[in-house]
C-alpha cells in the first residue's frame, strides 16, 4: 500500500531549515530509500516517495509557519541539483503507476505556485548543479530561478531526445506559458539533451539570475529576503500544527473522523461519505486558531485529500466514486460564514486554499463521480462543491416512504461563488454555465435558501430528481452502467467535459499535457526507451507518425 501520510520526523530526502522569514528546503536524496524495489535514486533523482515528503513539507510551511514569507528550494548535494524522475523506476512501473506519479507530482508543483500566488509565501530555486527533466521542472514551479554560473552547470528537459517521452510535470507548458520562452527557442531547448548553461539560459528566459558559486547562497538569500518583505503573512503569529491523521483502513473501507469510504467491489465503486460537524463551528478567529487542525474545514480537507490519494493509487479498479454527505446543514453554513467573515486572516486564507486544492484533486481524478442527495444530506456551501464537481447528480424529490426525515434540500453560500475555483480559473457554478451571467445571477440570489429538489433542478444545479418510487432503480442503473463501460473511454470523456471554458496553464497541464503523456506512455517507443536507458543499447523506434 502506498501511504501519503508523513511528517518531518520521518523525512528521508528533504531537510527544512529556517533563517528569520526565509525557509530552505534542501533535496538530499537517500539513494536506497525507495518506494519500491529494483532501483536506486542516483544523482538526486526522485520517485513518488520524494514527492510525498515535498507535498507534506509545502503544506506544513503554509500552516505551521506563518512567519515564513519566502522558501528557497535547493539541493543538499554538491554540484548536482536533481536528475529528475528516476528512469529505472519509470521503466519498471505499470502504466497506471506512471500516470498517477506524473499527476501527483504536477499537483505538488501546482501547490508551490499556489503558495507563491495566493499565500504570500514566495518560492525561489537555487540551482547549484545540473537540473535535468523533473529537476528543472521543480525549479520551473518557483517564482525566481538562480543558476550557478560556473561554465558547467546546465538546465535541461531531455525527455524527448533521450527517453521518447514528454517532460511530464508541466515542463513544456511552463517554459512557454509561464516563462514566455519563444517557441523556436523552446523547441531547440527541448530537443537537445545537454540543455543550456549560464548566459544563454538567462538570455532565453530559462532562469532569472546568475551567480558565481562563491556568491550563490548569498544571492539566493538576499533575493528570498526581498521577497519575504513583500509578504503579508504575519511574522508574530503562531502556526497550527498538523497532528497525525486518525485513520483505519480495512479491505473494504477507510474510516476517518469526518470521512468514511466504503467499497463495492462487484460494482467497482467507492462511496465517500462526508460528515458535518456535530457542533456549530466557532466564528471567533481566536477560537478557530486555538482549534487548529481540529477546526472542521481543515480536518475534513485533510481526510478527504488522503482518501482521494489512497483510492487513486491503491484502488484503481474502483472506477466510480459516489459522493454522499450527512449531518446538519446549518453547521456547514456556520463554518462557511466564519470563513467568509474572517477571510482576510492568514489562517482562513490557507484553509480556503487547502479546500480549493483538495476539490481540484477530485476534479482531475480519473474516476466517474456521482453525487447522491437524499434526506439527511448536507450539500451546503463548501460541501455543495462536491455535487457541483460530480459528473452527474441525483437528488431525491420528496421523502422516503415510512420515513420521518424531512425532504432533501441543498443550500448555496458565498463559498460557491469564487473562493474554490477550478483549474480553469472559474468557480464550479461558472464552469457549469460557462459564465452565463443571467443564470448565475439567478443562482446567486438564492444564497442562504434551502432549495428543494424541484428548485435545484430548475436552477440547473442538480441533474435528476427522481421520487421515492424511481430512486433506487435510476441510481442502480447509473452505477451499473458506469461499471459496464470502458474505463479508458470514460476517463477521456470525463476529462473533456469537466474543463470547459477558458484554458489556463494549469488546465493545459492536466488536460492537454497529461492526455498526451498518457498516450505516449502506452506507445512501444516510450516503453523501449525507458527500459533500455543506461544499458548502452539504442532503442529502435516505430517511425509512423500517428
Catalytic residues: 137, 159
Rounded distance between C-alpha atoms, residue 299 and residue 276, angstroms: 11
d(CA 309, CA 328): 27
**Which of these, 526, 63, 544, lies nearest to 288 by C-alpha position?**
63
Q: Is residue 462 within 8 Å of residue 455, measured between CB atoms? A: no
Cα angle for residues 103, 107, 108 (degrees, 5° grid): 120
Residues 23, 8: contact at Cβ < 8 Å?
A: no
What is residue 24's three-state secondary structure?
strand
User: CA-CA distances (angstroms) from residue 93 to 11, 51, 132, 350, 394?
Assistant: 23, 16, 20, 35, 38
Angle between helices 95-118 and 296-314 (to 10 degrees): 150
With CA atoms as reference, report the closest residue to 37 among 86, 84, 83, 75.
86
φ, ψ for residue 507 (rounded to 5)?
Answer: -70, -35
> Cα-Cα-Cα-Cα dihedral of 287, 291, 296, 297, to 10°?
80
Contacts of residue 228, Cβ cutoff 8 Å, sequence gap at least 6:
20, 21, 22, 68, 69, 70, 122
Q: Which residues pair with 436 in a beta bridge?
A: none
Task: Identify the residue whose cell numbers are 519498471.
Answer: 92
- Distance, in Å, from the CA atom of 546 to the CA atom of 543, rounded to the nearest integer, reads 9
Residue 94 burial class via C-beta count within 10 angstroms: exposed 0-12, middle 13-18, buried 19 and up:
exposed
Among 327, 332, 473, 447, smallest CA distance to 394 is for 473
**Would strands 22-27 and 14-19 be described as parallel, antiparallel, or unpaired?**
antiparallel
Beta-sheet strand order (sheet of 209-211): 14-19, 22-27, 70-75, 122-127, 144-148, 209-211
Beta partners for 451?
410
> Which residues lie across from 323 on neighbouring strands?
272, 371
The Cα–Cα gap between 391 and 376 comes to 22
CB-CB contact of 377 with 326 (8 Å): yes
- Contact between residue 431 and residue 424 where contact means Cβ atoms under 8 Å apart: yes
Taking the C-alpha atoms of residue 488 and residue 386, their distance in angstroms, rounded to an integer, is 23
Selection from 159, 63, 35 nearest residue 355 by Cα: 63
Helix (H) / strand (E) containing 132: strand 130-132
> From CA 502, how far away is CA 423, in angstroms rounded?
10
The alpha carbon torsion through 433, 434, 437, 439 (nearest 10 deg) reads: -10
Amino acid at each position: 500500500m502506498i501511504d501519503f501520510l508523513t511528517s518531518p520526523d520521518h523525512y528521508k530526502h528533504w531537510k527544512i531549515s529556517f533563517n528569520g522569514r526565509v525557509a530552505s528546503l534542501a533535496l538530499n536524496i537517500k539513494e536506497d530509500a525507495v518506494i519500491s524495489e529494483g532501483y536506486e535514486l542516483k544523482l538526486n533523482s526522485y520517485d513518488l516517495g520524494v514527492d510525498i515528503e515535498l507535498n507534506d513539507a509545502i503544506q506544513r510551511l503554509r500552516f505551521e509557519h506563518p512567519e515564513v514569507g519566502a522558501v528557497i528550494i535547493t539541493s543538499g548535494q554538491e554540484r548536482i541539483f536533481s536528475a529528475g524522475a528516476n528512469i529505472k523506476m519509470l521503466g519498471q512501473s505499470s502504466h497506471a503507476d506512471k500516470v498517477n506519479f506524473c499527476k501527483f507530482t504536477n499537483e505538488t508543483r501546482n501547490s508551490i505556485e499556489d503558495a507563491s500566488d495566493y499565500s504570500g509565501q514566495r518560492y525561489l530555486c537555487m540551482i547549484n548543479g545540473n537540473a535535468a527533466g523533473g529537476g528543472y521542472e521543480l525549479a520551473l514551479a518557483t517564482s525566481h530561478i538562480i543558476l550557478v554560473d560556473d561554465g558547467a552547470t546546465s538546465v535541461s528537459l531531455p525527455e524527448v531526445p533521450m527517453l521518447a517521452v514528454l517532460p511530464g510535470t508541466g515542463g513544456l507548458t511552463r517554459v512557454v506559458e509561464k516563462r514566455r520562452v519563444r517557441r523556436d527557442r523552446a523547441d531547440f531547448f527541448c530537443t537537445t539533451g545537454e540543455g543550456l548553461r549560464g548566459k544563454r539560459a538567462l538570455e532565453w528566459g530559462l532562469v532569472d539570475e546568475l551567480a558565481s558559486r562563491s556568491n550563490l547562497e548569498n544571492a539566493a538569500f538576499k533575493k528570498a529576503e526581498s521577497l519575504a518583505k513583500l509578504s503579508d503573512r504575519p511574522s508574530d503569529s503562531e502556526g497550527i500544527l498538523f497532528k497525525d491523521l486518525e485513520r483505519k483502513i480495512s479491505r473494504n473501507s477507510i474510516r476517518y473522523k469526518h470521512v468514511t469510504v466504503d467499497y463495492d467491489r462487484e460494482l467497482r465503486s467507492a462511496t465517500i461519505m462526508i460528515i458535518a460537524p456535530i457542533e456549530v463551528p466557532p466564528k471567533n478567529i481566536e477560537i478557530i486558531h486555538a482549534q487548529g487542525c481540529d477546526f472542521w474545514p481543515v480536518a475534513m480537507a485533510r481526510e478527504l485529500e488522503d482518501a482521494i490519494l489512497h483510492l487513486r493509487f491503491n484502488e484503481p479498479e474502483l472506477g466510480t466514486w459516489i459522493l454522499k454527505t450527512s449531518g446538519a446543514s446549518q453547521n456547514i453554513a456556520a463554518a462557511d460564514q466564519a470563513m467568509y467573515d474572517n477571510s482576510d486572516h492568514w489562517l482562513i486564507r490557507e484553509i480556503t486554499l487547502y479546500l480549493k486544492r483538495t476539490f481540484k484533486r477530485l476534479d482531475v481524478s480519473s474516476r466517474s463521480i456521482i453525487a447522491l442527495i437524499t434526506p439527511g444530506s448536507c450539500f451546503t456551501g463548501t460541501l455543495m462543491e462536491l455535487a457541483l464537481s460530480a459528473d452527474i447528480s441525483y437528488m431525491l424529490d420528496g421523502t422516503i416512504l415510512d420515513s420521518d426525515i424531512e425532504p432533501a434540500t441543498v443550500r448555496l453560500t458565498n463559498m460557491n461563488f469564487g473562493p474554490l475555483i477550478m483549474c480553469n480559473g472559474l468557480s464550479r457554478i461558472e464552469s457549469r454555465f460557462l459564465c452565463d451571467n443571467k443564470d448565475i445571477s439567478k443562482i446567486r440570489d438564492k444564497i442562504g435558501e434551502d432549495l428543494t429538489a424541484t428548485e435545484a433542478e430548475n436552477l440547473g444545479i442538480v441533474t435528476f430528481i427522481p421520487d421515492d418510487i424511481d430512486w433506487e432503480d435510476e441510481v442502480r442503473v447509473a452505477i451499473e452502467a458506469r461499471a459496464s463501460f470502458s474505463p479508458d473511454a470514460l476517463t477521456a470523456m470525463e476529462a473533456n467535459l469537466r474543463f470547459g471554458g477558458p484554458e489556463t496553464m494549469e488546465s493545459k497541464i492536466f488536460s492537454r499535457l497529461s492526455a498526451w503523456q498518457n498516450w505516449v506512455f502506452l506507445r512501444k517507443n516510450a516503453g523501449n526507451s525507458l527500459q533500455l536507458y543506461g544499458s548502452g543499447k539504442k532503442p529502435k523506434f516505430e517511425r509512423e507518425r500517428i
